[in-house]
Structure 1
Amino acid sequence: MTKQSGAQFLGPQQRKDAWDQLGSEQFDVVVIGGGVVGAGIALDAATRGLSVALVEARDYASGTSSRSSKMFHGGLRYLEQLEFGLVREALRERELSLSTLAPHLVKPLKFLFPITHRVWERPYMAAGIFLYDTMGGAKSVPAQKHLTRSGALRLAPGLKRNSLVGGIRYYDTVVDDARHTMTVARTAAHYGAVVRTSTQVVGFLREADRVSGVRVRDSEDGSTAEVRGHVVINATGVWTDEIQALSNQRGRFRVRASKGVHIVVPRDRIVSEAAIILRTEKSVLFVIPWGNHWIIGTTDTDWNLDLAHPAATKADIDYILGHVNKVLVTPLTHDDIDGVYAGLRPLLAGESDETSKLSREHAVARVAPGLVAIAGGKYTTYRVMAEDAVDLASEDIPARVAPSITEKVPLVGADGYFALVNQTTAVGHQYGLHPYRVKHLLDRYGSLIHEVLDLATSTPELLQPLTDAPDYLQVEAVYAAAAEGALHLEDILARRTRISIEYAHRGVNCAEQVAQLVAPVLGWDAATVDREVETYRARVEAEVRSQAQPDDSAADALRAAAPEARAEILEPVPISR
């Protein structure tokens, strides 16, 4: 059977070694930010042969990159805004990831676009989707298909008959954003980048008029170190302006945070064989199949409060329910909701007062000698953004810098994935797992599946499901701590798995079990286990209470009061936006 391994384990020993390296080596590139763009920059630079350090104050994808609509897409609605270049670029990236870079993580997804106006809408949307199907070299998904009202309702019987006059079926893609981001970071480490989470930038180093590195602080124990680099790249998304202020340099652009909220409901609440895209007065609403659930979102509102923990309100949830219920035969209620999450889009500040009209194009600028900043863009174009950032940063690197090659570099777990899909039954037989379980694991780990399951060789009980989150095996929690850089319960329940949004208990019911499983790996004693469980429970309670509040200020006050898993993290000084 195909058996791929060799990806660097991001575990406790690697974390210790990385701290020593950060404080002792001279790097070509120091990247601030462990979201998808920062991880992508680390991968781009490392595969060009540069020495790279990546530091993240919290966890990989702990901000925007774990709270998206879970789509790796071109952005059909951007065609209406005439952003053809952005859509073409994003669709090219979608094709690359589907076919080569991350086929284990990025999956085709069937969509229904309901036609609601006779005569003009079908040819209008058909032309747009034709462009969408042909721009960027898309080959891995089928072309559009036109449906009558009856045909559309056969595809999505859960829609009201009077909510549409026909439909168009087209394809896009879905991705587990948090796992994808972590995998990009792990791939960067595989190619030599020194990557470390819970490592917060608290200042900049200077030599004469240039930035020569950063001062970092361990978010776990408060230790400090200086990291030297020929160039520092600020890839912190919605924190761009705060990090910029730390450098005492005038920024070349400003970033505005736009809050997007999603709800998660059980799959049986909406009867449909396809994802659904709905127009709203401001934007679009996606109804995305997600395992045993649907993810429905998103909102698009200005956010000027806590950047680390954006809070969803009752008004946000009511907005989503109100719009989706206009078209559903059986309306959804608050009682149907298993999960809710809120994320912030880092939009380039422009002339428009409406965040939905701000550009999703990215900007990259050399802010000062030795300091580059990048912001904007969309999840799908992370690789292009990374390439642009390293190209500009190369001006500050004394050695010759090779061109980007990341379009030819599969993420760890991609090589051998397709062969393993054909060997699903054999893999299941080897480990005593149902083929359905093996497929679920392959779509999370790809060809690293043997690394995961082999952790259970001496303790076969780890191949049993988590008691209160049976979609996941116990060994997956152990692997998250041993190989995927998870340091806290929150990292495992919210990002390495998606238990925090997939179960009505939001992870509380399995927090104790997961903490006991990872305690030996992370060196937790009984008191630490108790603290982790209580901290996680407090986080969930704060989120649930905030989601019953009428406005952002009330929701933010409740959510921000919850304890931090990373006890030593410092809140940046807020700046006026």
Structure 2
Amino acid sequence: MRMATDRDNGHRPARRPALEPPGRLGPSERETAWRRLGSEQFDVVVIGGGVVGVGTALDAVTRGLRVALVEARDLASGTSSRSSKLFHGGLRYLEQLEFGLVREALRERDLMLSRLAPHLVKPVAFLYPLTKRFWERPYVTAGLILYDTMGGARSVPRHRQFTKAGALRLMPALRRNALIGGMRYFDAQVDDARHTLTIARTAAQYGAVVRTSTQVIGFLREADRVCGVRVLDCETGERTEVKAHAVINCTGVWTGEIQRLSGSRGRFRVRASKGVHLVVPRDRIVSESGLILRTEKSVLFVIPWRNHWIIGTTDTEWNLDLAHPAATKADIDYVLDHVNRVLVTPLTHEDIEGVYAGLRPLLAGENEQTSNLSSHNLSSHKLSRTHAVARVSPGLVAIAGGKLTTYRVMAASAVRAAAPDIPRLIRRSITDRVPLLGADGYHALVNQVEELGHRYDIHPYRICHLLDRYGSQLHDVLAAAVDRPDLLAPITSTPDYLRAEVVYAASHEGALHLEDVLTRRTRISIEYPHRGVACAEEVADLMAAELGWDAATRNREIAVYTARVEAERDSQTQPDDEAADARRSAAPEARPQVASALM
């Protein structure tokens, strides 16, 4: 059998045409995927296109298994596009003596920075302001030394001490009375939606069938055993059955819904916690570093994000629409109030460019216990800081909890738990040695930025931006511009993104709707005050040419997206969750079939 490492050396299986772009998720691949879902016997079907789902698909397919992944909406359409966008060890977990969790997360962070996704995951600095005399500096120093020793300084600089004057030089935006000194340490950040998409494409590169807008509406059974799923194409309304030896439920906050649909009693329950983030322009906070603040509930991050800052987050229970969590005025005021306590120039509502709300899947098991290996090895880890995986019934595995940083560990656990249901040899996980699509050759291209700029007639700054989004896939992104130079122009009202990126999103990255491009393939919906409305027509025209939209479809896409933005803006003026949810839920679905399907 050809091993996955063959691909790392540049070899491709004989069955793949030499000119076919690796990991392409275009319209023709979508049609092929539908036929394969209904005609093949899979070892594993993964439900859910978030980071854990796509990670599980990649883990399984690189072990030599036959894998299919289905997602009701879009890749990363839920939690995995609405996080704090950090790959971090969890410094605060040291206070809770969660040493194993921190060590594991730091190892995963190092793998991403150094080997698996250096084009996507980047170091980011944080200033921790000290406010207490005598005891706080030695206390925090001890924690940061431990953090560095456990792996925190493996791929990034070690922590550094600052006097009050030094900390203010690093971050002039801070009020002088907000600190008596400071300490800087490093973690890492990532565009979470693009990272999830890249994992999915990498899984497809190795042979996994990956299909979005494909919703599970039922389960297939042989006696008491789950042997596959029934799925609905949410674009056409077609249905088919997918046969598999094992089904893995990786749906995050939807875990309970899928468990009920399967007719199986879950081994754990998942509750949703809402986290709200604000995006403001970079010039509103004068600083060379991010910031981490303690609050009465948890911590608040001020995270550098290209030409912006991301500020968050909140942590409140959410029991309403899982697909479209809504931020309220109270949520926004909470974040502004806490960050303004330390800023010389307070932020106002007028400074906000974007707002997004996401749901964390927190565990709430029957026995207040979870497992980070299997249902037979229960652990006493605190529920919100670990993951659980269980063989719910023969042929059905569920996994939930955890965090973005440890998605790869979670994926390996899920595949391991499904092994008893798969009648073939299950090789060990090798995803710690499988670079994500675009990683190979990235560092060499970084050294050739000037040459690439001349070759494509693009400013080197834009080349750097593209390399940090696509890595060595840069050439594929710009290929369409060879015959269409207009694609090298920026999108109207959104100068950070090129028109070629829209075309690539539709032709290679599985984007089916306007919101897929404006919200996840790019981050226009949170990075610009117009939130994508000002460029919706131009983007829709580019997508229409790739996806074959007629005038009615194109106009509907613009209308649906505009209504969504209006509903989100409206919800963010409401006083409570119920009112905000009512306003947000009033907007039409980009995928209307999802709303009418069983879920």
On whether the aligned pair clears a TM of 0.5, the verdict is yes
Q: Aligned letter for 1:123?
A: P
How far off its partner does 1:470 sit?
0.7
**Alignment of 1:437 onto 2:462:** yes
1:45, CA displacement in angstroms?
0.3
| Structure 1 unaligned spans of 5+ | none
Match of 2:429 in 1: 404
- Aligned pairs (5 A) from 1:333-344: 333-344=348-359
Is 2:400 aligned against 1:378? no
Q: Report if the CA contact (8 A) 2:488-2:498 is conserved.
A: yes
Contact in 2 for aligned 1:37/1:383 (Cα 8 Å):
yes
Q: Which amino acid aligns with 2:266?
A: G
Q: Aligned ranges for residues 241-280 of structure 1 at < 5 Å?
A: 241-280=256-295
**Maintained 8 Å contact 1:242/1:572:** no
Equivalences for residues 471-510 of structure 1 within 5 A = 471-510=496-535
- Partner Cα separation in structure 2 for residue 222 and residue 135 of structure 1: 51
Check whether the contact 1:200–1:216 (CA below 8 A) recurs between aligned residues.
Answer: yes
- Give the fraction of aligned pairs with identical amino acids, expressed as a percent: 73
Q: Secondary structure at the match of 2:229?
A: strand
Q: What is the SS of the residue equivalent to 2:34? A: helix
For structure 2, the residue ranges without an aligned partner over 5 or more in a row are 1-9, 11-19, 369-381
Deviates more, 1:129-138 or 1:39-48: 129-138
The answer to whether the 8 Å contact 1:233/1:393 transfers is: yes
Residues 299-308 or 519-528, more deviating: 519-528
Shift of 1:290: 0.6
Corresponding position: 1:83 with 2:98: yes
Cα separation, partners in 2 of 1:105 and 1:315, compared to 1, 3 Å: same
1:514 and 2:529 matched: no
Q: What do the CA deviations read for 1:374-408 (whole angstroms, capped 9, x no partner)?
A: 00000010000000100111110000110000000
Contact 2:276 2:332 in 1 (8 A): yes
Please tell me whether the aligned partners of residues 90 and 136 of structure 1 are also in contact (alpha carbons under 8 angstroms). Answer: no
- State the match for 1:97 in structure 2: 112
Q: 2:119, 2:471 within 8 Å by CA — same for their partners in 1?
A: yes
Preserved CA contact (<8 Å) 2:219 2:262: yes
Provide TM-score, normalisation by structure 2: 0.93
Letter of the aligned partner of 1:114 in structure 2?
P
Classify 1:204/1:64 alpha carbon distance in 2 versus 1 (closer, same or farther; 3 Å). Answer: same
The residue type equivalent to 1:204 in the other structure is F
Question: How far 1:8 moved relative to its partner?
Answer: 2.2
Q: Does 1:314 align with 2:329?
A: yes
User: 1:91–1:138: 8 Å Cα contact kept in structure 2?
Assistant: no
CA distance in 1, matches of 2:161, 2:582: 48
Aligned to 2:172: 157
Partner of 2:163: 148
RMSD: 1.4
1:546 maps to what in 2? 571
| Deviation sequence 1:180-212 (CA, Å, 0-9, x none) | 000000000000000000000000000111000
SS for the counterpart of 1:569 is helix
The reply on whether 1:446 has 2:471 as its aligned counterpart is yes
- The equivalent residue for 1:71 is 86
Give the aligned partner of residue 484 of structure 2: 459
Corresponding residue of 2:415: 390
Name the aligned partner's letter for residue 42 of structure 2: F
Listed as ranges, the matches of 1:173-252 within 5 Å are 173-252=188-267
Q: Secondary structure of the residue that 2:592 maps to in structure 1?
A: coil
Report the AA paired with residue 212 of structure 1. Answer: C
The SS at the match of 1:456 is helix
Quick one: which amino acid aligns to residue 449 of structure 1?
A: L
> Deviation of residue 6 (structure 1)?
4.0
8 Å CA contact retained: 1:92, 1:138? no
Instruction: Give TM-score, length-normalised by structure 1.
Output: 0.97
Once the two structures are superposed, residues 507-531 of structure 1 have per-residue CA deviations (whole angstroms, 9 ceiling, x without a partner) of: 0000000000111111101111100
| 1:15 counterpart (19, 27, 30) | 30
CA distance in 1, matches of 2:213, 2:21: 24
Question: How many Å apart are 1:359 and its aligned residue?
Answer: 2.3
Task: State the alpha-carbon separation in 2 of the partners of residues 89 and 386 from structure 1.
Answer: 14
In 2: Cα distance, 1:80 partner to 1:391 partner: 31
Deviating 4+ runs (over 3 angstroms): 570-574
Shift of 1:136: 3.9
Instruction: Judge conservation of contact 2:164–2:180 (CA < 8 Å) in 1.
Output: yes
The question of whether the paired residues in 2 share the 8 Å contact of 1:55 and 1:195 is answered with yes
Does the 8 Å contact 1:546/1:555 carry over to 2?
A: yes
Q: What residue identity is the alignment partner of 1:278?
A: L
